[in-house]
Structure 1
Amino acid sequence: MVRKMGVYAVLAFCLYGLFFYWYLFHFANTTLPFEYQGSKADPSTFLNGRELSLSEEYSKVRNLLFFLSTPFEWLFYFLILLFGFSKAFKRWADSSTKYKVLQMPIYLIWLSFFAFVATFPLNYINYSLSKTYHISTQSFPSWMKDELIDFWISYGTWLIIVPVLYWLMKKSKKRWWLYGWMLSVPFTLFMMFLQPVVIDPLYNDFYPLKNQELETKILALADKADIPAKHVFEVNMADKTNAMNAYVNGIGSSARIVLWDTTLNRLNDNQILFIMAHEMGHYVEKHIYFGIAGYLLLSLFGLYLTHRLMNWAIKHWGKELKITDIRDIRSLPLFFMILSMLLFVSSPLSNLVSRYEETRADRYAIEMTKNPEAAITSFQELSRSGLSQVNPPLLVKIFRYTHPSMLDRISMLEEYEIKHRHK
């Protein structure tokens, strides 16, 4: 029975992968609707033939890797349970030390290490792909350093969360998910506060914007929007990527507006001011706080469903999965698998909300700067630097896009330009 379940799981993953290969490479239509052809949203008007071809090639492979990577995690955790590796990790942890307080961290390091090794090939293919298409400029040692930082941050975070969750399970088998969620609220806020000042600097160097004249213009925009900003931060990304980005993160006194140096190098002042106005739109409309509230609400339902699904799975397949009780640390791969599934299933909703907020920020930015030409050309340059599809396939947009497609963003700006041309 165990072998049969393993074969079915691998077969299901292969069929799933074949479906998305067929969908992305043979079925999905990314050509522009007739009414947008020749407009400023038409990539043929701002990309040359080679760039158009590379954009399509790169996007298809990158999207396929995205759709393969998350279900691969599910398959990994399922096989870890099915073939007794979780049981083995527990045995190795117990035999390594007589101190119970150290046994769970040892179990977790074994599980984390095997997960890192299993997912490394896909991560490396992603890195190699971005190098091939000249998106990434990062050396392998630098990339490997970031991967290891990711590993230890993830391990450290789960080392805090997992012991607390399993302690709560032992105290209250029926209500652990609720108590865990209540503790997650201050923990989430604390991590949001730490992100820009502790975690992000582990990967890159951050410093106040060196272009004082540009910073003065940005701070004037911030003052116009009643944003108490004192600095705009610049981050060195040119050694890692040719892509461009700007973002706002953190909460309270740790909140930062950040520009990648690649953005500064490739866009002019007017284009950068539009991008900064976009980020200010997020601040003014409190999108960060709405995002936190939405995340916490989803996590409440997610933990409840995880509780129900874990108990259901153990009841029906506990023998095959080598788990007799949800409170046994050997059930952790099942917890991770179900949590990952729920995040994937909920991503269309969270992405839809995010795209709405990004559209609001775009509208705020164009109303503030009133420079549609700078806005449109900045999006065109973003498309070029990241080789992103202007009109992505529907399933890609639903599951991947936290921002509107470039077709949606540029066409909205073009409508604004036409509407206000004679005013």
Structure 2
Amino acid sequence: MRPKSVSLFSALACLVVVPAAAHAAPFDPEAATQAYLATLKGAARAQSDAYFEGGYWLLLWGTLAAVFADFILLRTGLSARFRNWAERVTKRRFVQSMLYGVPYVIISSTILVPWTIYTGYVREKQYGLLTQGFGDWAGEQAILLVLNIIAFSLIIALVMNGIRRSPKRWWLWGTGMAALTMVFFIMIAPVFINPLFNTYTELAPGPVRDRIVGMAQSRGIPANHIYVFDQSKQHKRISANVAGIGPTIRISLNDNLLKRTTLSETAAVMGHEMGHYVLNHSLRLAIGFGLVFGFCFWIASLVVPGIVARWGAGWGIRGIDDVAAWPVYSIVITILILAMTPVKNTLIRSQESEADAFGLDVAREPDGFAQAAMQLSEYRKIEPGPVEEFLFYDHPSGRTRVRMSMEWKARHLADPRPK
């Protein structure tokens, strides 16, 4: 008889317990989102907002500074002198254009030194985001200068060659060149450029590596090598990437991510980065940005001839196919690139949102993803208005990302309430 009495007691208990659970408040994604947002408040939130909002003005002032540097090269006749020097060195016009790029990058970068120091060092230090001393920071800027000399010398030569071959349709050449250049740098950067600034080592065996390998293998991502790089020596931002194309593919995460996040946060971030690889975002972004630059080149092909005809002789420019006219092209394209900021941001932001959704599906860590989004909000305004987000954000805002993760949690988990 005892088993029956126990069974009867259990049944009665269920009658009491089940209705109580049925009346529990359902999980509310918006309330959960607000709970996360409330963890960033006071001085920390004010600083995050101020830093990011200040970046809006940096877009404008940075453009004006670049235009000023190019105008100085034209007004002083330095651009024509660079061309004359290149012509004395060689008779080959393609090589002349490459040689022109060397003093062009050096002098224009020198003109912009005060601006570079303020935006890249002083301001970052003021907001507590940079961990480098000035000497180390300046050393990396010198490496960047060398890389810019090489890259811009080639770009200038290719664009000017296109202008000489087809003065009216060179922008078509420029569009394809821009896309191919982006693909090229996406391929070589992980292997040859990134190690110039950081040391890459294999991630040690353990729970983090096991989790990353498991997620990668579940989506067919090569995971033979997973690298950690020492970015804490430069700043404290968390970061990771699945970069490269074909044989140059690398899964990498910085040491800040390992030090400042839990396993669930790390998995969420890495799931997001894997999304970029699986969804072919590198190639799609290269095509998208190629079209953006193509539009800017097309407008430049219509505007620059008039500028050169009006003021070119005074600047020592012989025609639109003269490499000394490069600063004119640069000024026009720089202004157009600023005007295209919402388009560029939308291209990137849409892919970041796709990667967010992918990462939630592969990692299944909505709270980890929300917590990582809160960490990123140390330097990104967490709750912008819709127009503000459209214009200035190249990633979804912290609020958007936390809300997405809470909605995913409500849809996919049996009991989505925080434990």
* Superposed pair shares fold, TM > 0.5: yes
Note the alpha carbon deviations across 1:330-381, whole angstroms, 9 max, x for none. Answer: 1010121222223222221121122112112111222223332222112112
Taking structure 1 as reference, are residues 208 and 83 closer, same or farther at Cα in structure 2, changes over 3 Å only?
same
- For the 8 Å contact 2:227–2:253, the answer to whether it is kept is yes
Taking structure 1 as reference, are residues 82 and 392 closer, same or farther at Cα in structure 2, changes over 3 Å only?
farther
Gaps of at least 5 residues in structure 2 are: 1-27
1:238 match: secondary structure: helix
- For the 8 Å contact 1:82–1:322, the answer to whether it is kept is no
How many residues get paired?
385
The answer to whether residue 321 in structure 2 is matched with residue 327 in structure 1 is yes
Note the alpha carbon deviations across 1:128-168, whole angstroms, 9 max, x for none. Answer: 12112211101111111111111111110122222333334
Report the Cα distance in structure 1 between the residues aligned to 2:84 and 2:152, rounded to whole angstroms: 20
Report the Cα distance in structure 2 between the residues aligned to 1:93 and 1:320, rounded to whole angstroms: 20
State the shift of 1:69 in Å.
0.8
Report the Cα distance in structure 1 between the residues aligned to 2:54 and 2:362, rounded to whole angstroms: 38
Report the Cα distance in structure 2 between the residues aligned to 1:182 and 1:351, rounded to whole angstroms: 21
- What is the 5 A alignment of 1:6-405? 40-41=33-34, 45-91=38-84, 97-100=88-91, 104-126=97-119, 127-183=121-177, 186-319=180-313, 321-384=315-378, 387-392=379-384, 397-405=389-397
- For the 8 Å contact 1:193–1:251, the answer to whether it is kept is yes
State the shift of 1:205 in Å.
1.2
State the shift of 1:213 in Å.
2.9
Report the Cα distance in structure 2 between the residues aligned to 1:38 and 1:207, rounded to whole angstroms: 41
Taking structure 1 as reference, are residues 166 and 377 closer, same or farther at Cα in structure 2, changes over 3 Å only?
closer
Q: Which has the larger radius of gyration?
A: 2
Given residue 367 of structure 1, which amino acid in structure 2 is its aligned partner?
Answer: D
1:258 match: secondary structure: strand
Given residue 277 of structure 2, which amino acid in structure 1 is its aligned partner?
Answer: Y
Gaps of at least 5 residues in structure 1 are: 1-34
Give the alignment's Cα RMSD to 1 decimal: 2.7
- For the 8 Å contact 1:54–1:133, the answer to whether it is kept is yes
Taking structure 1 as reference, are residues 171 and 47 closer, same or farther at Cα in structure 2, changes over 3 Å only?
closer
State the shift of 1:73 in Å.
0.9
Note the alpha carbon deviations across 1:252-284, whole angstroms, 9 max, x for none. Answer: 111222211101100011111111111112222
- For the 8 Å contact 2:100–2:153, the answer to whether it is kept is no
1:259 match: secondary structure: strand
- For the 8 Å contact 2:36–2:402, the answer to whether it is kept is no
1:242 match: secondary structure: coil
| Equivalent residue number for residue 29 of structure 1 | none
State the shift of 1:232 in Å.
2.0
TM-score for the superposition, normalised by structure 2: 0.83
Taking structure 1 as reference, are residues 409 and 86 closer, same or farther at Cα in structure 2, changes over 3 Å only?
same
Report the Cα distance in structure 2 between the residues aligned to 1:105 and 1:150, rounded to whole angstroms: 18
State the shift of 1:410 in Å.
0.8
Given residue 394 of structure 2, which amino acid in structure 1 is its aligned partner?
Answer: T
Given residue 87 of structure 1, which amino acid in structure 2 is its aligned partner?
Answer: A
State the shift of 1:125 in Å.
1.1
Note the alpha carbon deviations across 1:59-102, whole angstroms, 9 max, x for none. Answer: 333433233112321232134323433234335555xx454457
Given residue 405 of structure 1, which amino acid in structure 2 is its aligned partner?
Answer: S
